Amino acid sequence: VTADGDETDAPTSVRETVGRRTSRGQRSVAELTERAQSGEPRAVARLISLVEDASPSLREVAERLAPHTGRAQIIGLTGAPGVGKSTSTSALLTGLRQAGKRVGVLAVDPSSPFSGGALLGDRVRMQEHATDADVYIRSMASRGHLGGLAWATPQALRVLDAAGCDVILIETVGVGQSEVDVAGLADTTVVLLAPGMGDGIQAAKAGILEIGDVYAVNKADREGADQVVRDLRSVINLGARDGVWRPPIVKTVAQTGEGVDDLMEAIEKHRAHLEETGELSARRRRRARREIEAIALTTLRERFGDLGGHADLESLGAEVAAGRLDPYAAADRLLAAL
Ligand SMILES: Nc1nc2c(ncn2[C@@H]2O[C@H](COP(=O)(O)OP(=O)(O)OP(=O)(O)O)[C@@H](O)[C@H]2O)c(=O)[nH]1
Ligand SMILES: [Mg+2]
């Protein structure tokens, strides 16, 4: 469903319309953002689509949303494929709804060029929440646009934040190698592990022990869960220091909801820790810096792309090929032409 539907009451100022890209939308950004803020699901969906499509109207969207952001608690879930991220997200969603929270869910798949597909299974898993008016579930994929999801994901988070979500759960596949580094996006990052998934700890050691604020050993109904907990604990204890957050380890069976209360409690403790130490605002400032950087880099890349056929490049190429100029100096000259 998109928010393009009824257009009878839409203002018609050309300057304020959401671009000519939409076939019949022509709804003003002002109205769209207002509706999103009041929690209208179709407006929220439409705004996230604008983000995904890198719409030119995003500038205005961002400007209008900015004063209404910074309230949501952002919880990231990450871990190897199939470890139970979506099932855990759904279980957390149930718990958060019982606590009366309005919740946004963003499932990000950097490897997929399209939404849907791999995320279809998630929709099935999330179905029980599909009709809940206080839940927004959205999947995002890169669609191959410039800059990929590096800047798009934080913008989608902003939309959900401004739409009044108390909590946003964001699920991404993989650790470290991912284009969308969930640890850079979330207030609290939950890393999921599970028994019987190869040499999980060894494989993950390199990256995960730096990013997990909370560890969930999921599929605790399976043999080997206690061993995963023991291994993980010994590695965490190795790096433990006084005054530094020591990530708790929680056992869960996401399918049945077992242990999910403990997981919520661990997340809340971490949240309290962030607030007490001032780390919450430090993380948010860091996040904002990365966001600015991603947008600036995307803009640069776009401009640079335009220079691909630039006359300077033609002549510089000739100079370098002939050995009259080194490629670094040539690159400097090209950049100076930006
Ligand atoms: N036995 C058991 N199976 C589980 C548990 N949690 C999830 N599963 C199953 O594990 C499979 C993968 O779960 P998902 O939640 O899709 O895992 P995911 O990490 O989101 O997977 P991707 O998004 O593909 O990376 C599904 O068949 C789940 O039903 C659990 O606690 N115990
Ligand atoms: Mg999933």
pLDDT in tens, the chain (338 residues): 333 333 333 333 333 333 334 444 456 899 999 999 998 989 999 998 888 888 889 889 999 999 999 999 999 998 888 889 989 999 999 999 999 999 999 988 765 544 444 454 555 566 677 778 889 988 876 554 445 566 788 899 999 999 999 999 998 865 445 545 777 889 999 999 999 875 555 555 556 677 899 999 999 999 999 998 998 888 888 877 888 899 999 999 999 999 999 999 999 999 999 999 999 999 999 989 988 988 888 788 777 776 667 778 889 999 999 999 999 999 999 888 77
- Which segments of 64-200 are extended strands (E)? 73-79, 103-109, 135-141, 167-173, 188-193
Instruction: Take residue 155 and report the two structure tokens written for it.
Output: 């913008």
Note the ligand closest to the C-alpha atom of 251: 1
Instruction: Take residue 45 and report the two structure tokens written for it.
Output: 């969906």
**Ligand 1 and 82: CB distance under 6 A:** yes
CA 152 to chain centre: 8
Residue type, 338: L
Compute the distance from residue 337 Cα to the ligand 2 centre, in Å: 45
Contact criterion met (CB below 8 Å) for 76 and 189: yes
Q: Angle 77-82-84 (CA atoms, 0-180°, nearest 5)?
A: 50
**Ligand 1 and 319: CB distance under 6 A:** no
**Ligand 1 and 310: CB distance under 6 A:** no
Indicate which residue's Cα is closest to atom 2 of ligand 1.
Answer: 219
**Ligand 1 and 87: CB distance under 6 A:** yes
